Each structure stands twice: as structure tokens, then as C-alpha cells.
Amino acid sequence: KDDPQKALSMLDGYSATMHFSREEQVEIAKEIGLTLARRYDDRALEVMTKYDPELRDNTVTEWRLRLLLRLGRWEEAYELARRLPKDLAATNRWRYWEARSLELAQPNSPLIASLYKDVAKERDFYGFLAADRTQSPYQLNNKPLVLSQALINKVRNTPGVRRALEFHDRGEIVDGRREWYHVSRLFNRDEMVAQAKLAYDLKWYFPAIRTISQAQYWDDLDIRFPMAHRDTLVREAKVRGLHSSWVFAITRQESAFMDDARSGVGASGLMQLMPATAKETARKFSIPLSSPQQVLDPDTNIQLGAAYLSSVHAQFNGNRVLASAAYNAGPGRVRQWLKGANHLAFDVWVESIPFDETRQYVQNVLSYSVIYGQKLNSPQPLVDWHERFFDDL
């Protein structure tokens, strides 16, 4: 990974003497090609084409297409998008990029509008992108649950649910969640959906979000995107000069409104602050912080999180796309991913983020911002005009 080009030269030289099988050669070449691609090195294209000409490896194929997009090779990107295996071609992601690369390669093609129109039907990052390309409204496709009272009563009176609610009422939240998740595994889909609605009505938002996701019911936007801690989030966003919808979206993505969330690396609370970040932010913005434990207090966490978010936002000239990526992966990495950018379109930049987690994070945050903008009666575009093109910092 330190010198992928040297590794490739060694592979060509050692393949015969070391008696690498074809499968071993392909696997080694895959890692070399992906490393080069994630560094936006056009030599990756030769490696990937040589060792996977028939598009058998989806990860390699996706990075071939991402690299063509990053390099501005629109015609080649469009041709590859048309050749994608069926499972990739069916996704909204690559349906969007088929339309977008065609638009960039052949701006007058009569196919562009219809390709975008199909993608824009979906409530996701690519659907919202396609809606913007065609200047059509975002399709939120909200379908609130309609449940019988009998089903809700049945679920509420299940012994496991009753125990979970007793724990919750006593403030024993961890035990309550544990009992809640255990009983969820015993329910069918309809019962899980009713359980999610029950949690939502009790303002127990994290179990509501988790349970409705496990039930794979995606269209009740009240349950999936609750207005938890609304007064604090809106106030702190205003204090820091940020879109409330964006602060809501970051919080929803970071913790799904689990007040006491702790990550494996030590981040805490609603906005998942690292101890050093919380301490430094408190000092910089004169926010009282008497102990590390106070970071788990929802109001304090939001106050610190919004302040830190505003500082990242300022570092990237008020660009939410870059600031969202930096909140997840760190400002240094974002600057690295901007190297060589020359009026690069934001959608291409996001698609070419090397880390899968950060790419999905940014897409989720921007999409969630659209949803929360609607819920706050303050509709926001997916990106503002000043966020649409990037240059090397």
C-alpha cells in the first residue's frame, strides 16, 4: 500500500518464479488496483482492466467507474455504466451515474431526462440528486403507519415489552433497551412495527428507530426521523449560524438519538464527541464542562457538538458537504481528498471518497437534511449553490 506501483512491478516479475496461480495474481492485482484508485491514480485503470476485464468483481468495477468519474472521462464512464452487472445496474447509485455521465459526455442526448426521472422517484441521495438535475420536487414518499389498536395493545401487554417499559419508567435505560431488543426477536414484522410505534409514542426514539429498521419499514418518516431535542437543537444551530436541518441530520446519523451512545473509540452522546474534542471545544467557546461525564447530558452534548460543527464548517468556507465529511473522518483527510480538485462537481467528489463509511455518512447527512428541512417547515436543497463545486484547498 505504501508503493502500489512497485508492488505491481514485482507481481509481474514474480508471477512466474513464485508460481502464483491465476486466482492469486488477480487477488494481489485487485488490492494494488484499489489502492491506486483510492488515491485517484489513473494507473489503476490499466490494472483493473487487465485483471478483471469481464467485470466479475463488483468492488473493482465500482472503483473503475468512480475513478473514471473523478478523472472526468465521461464517455468511458458512460460506456462502463451501461455494461455493469445486473445487480449493480439496478441500484439507484449507478442508475444516477449512467444518467449523469451521459449528460456530461453527450449533453444533447434525448435519453437523459427519462433516465433521471426514474432515479428521482426514490427517497435517497441519488433520487434527490436526480430531482435537482431535472428541477423537480424531492419525493419523500412518506407513508405513516396505520395500525389497529388491538395489535398495539397486544404488543404492549407482551411480558417482555412490559418489563422493558418498567425499566424505562424507572430510568434503567440500558436494561430497558436490552429487554426491548430481546423481545423484538420473538415478534413477526407487524408486531415489530407496532413495537416501534409504541416506543415512538413514548418518545423513546432510539429503540423506535432501531426496531422499525429491523422490521424494514422505511416509509414512516415521523418514526425514522423524530424531532427529538428540538428546542435545544434549533437554538444551538441558530447560535452557531447553522441550518437546523443539518444539525438534526448530523445528530440522527451519529447516534439515532441515543442520549447515552458510546462508540468503540470513545465518542460519547448524541453528537458523538471524542473526550479531547469536547474539552477543547468547551475551552474555545467558553462552554461550562465540569467533568467528562457531563458530555452525556443531552443539552451539553448538543451545545458542544453544534459549536464544534460550526468550527469545522468555518474551516471549509461554509460548505456542509466538506464539513460533514470532516466531522466523520477528520479535516486532514478531507483536505487530502481535495488534492487536485479543479472545479470538481460535488457529486463526483462525494462518490470518490475513498472510505465507504464516510461516503455513506455524507450521503445520509445530506439526505437527512432534506427530510428534516421539510419537517421543520424550512425546506432546504440537497446542497446550496456555493457547495456545488470544489477546488484544492
Alpha carbons 237 and 248: distance in angstroms, whole number: 9
Longest dimension (CA), the chain: 73
SS (H, E, C) 149-205: HHHHHHHHCCHHHHHHHHHHHCCCHHHHHHHHHHHHCCCCHHHHHHHHHHHHHCCCH
Cell of 126: 441519488
- 229 phi, psi to nearest 5 deg: 55, 40
Q: How many CB atoms lie within 10 A of CB 67?
A: 25
Does residue 254 have an active-site annotation?
yes
Only one residue has cell 427519462, namely 114
Alpha carbons 65 and 352: distance in angstroms, whole number: 9
Do 255 and 271 form a contact (C-beta atoms < 8 A)? yes
Three-point CA angle 260, 261, 264, nearest 5°: 135
Beta strands per DSSP E along 81-129: none
Helix (H) or strand (E) holding 389, with range, is strand 389-390
Give the torsion through C-alpha atoms of 58, 60, 64, 65, to 10 deg.
Answer: 20
- Active-site option among 62, 98, 103, 254: 254
Alpha carbons 369 and 387: distance in angstroms, whole number: 14
In the 8-state DSSP scheme, what is residue 292?
G
Q: How many CB atoms lie within 10 A of CB 357?
A: 10
- Annotated active-site positions, please? 254
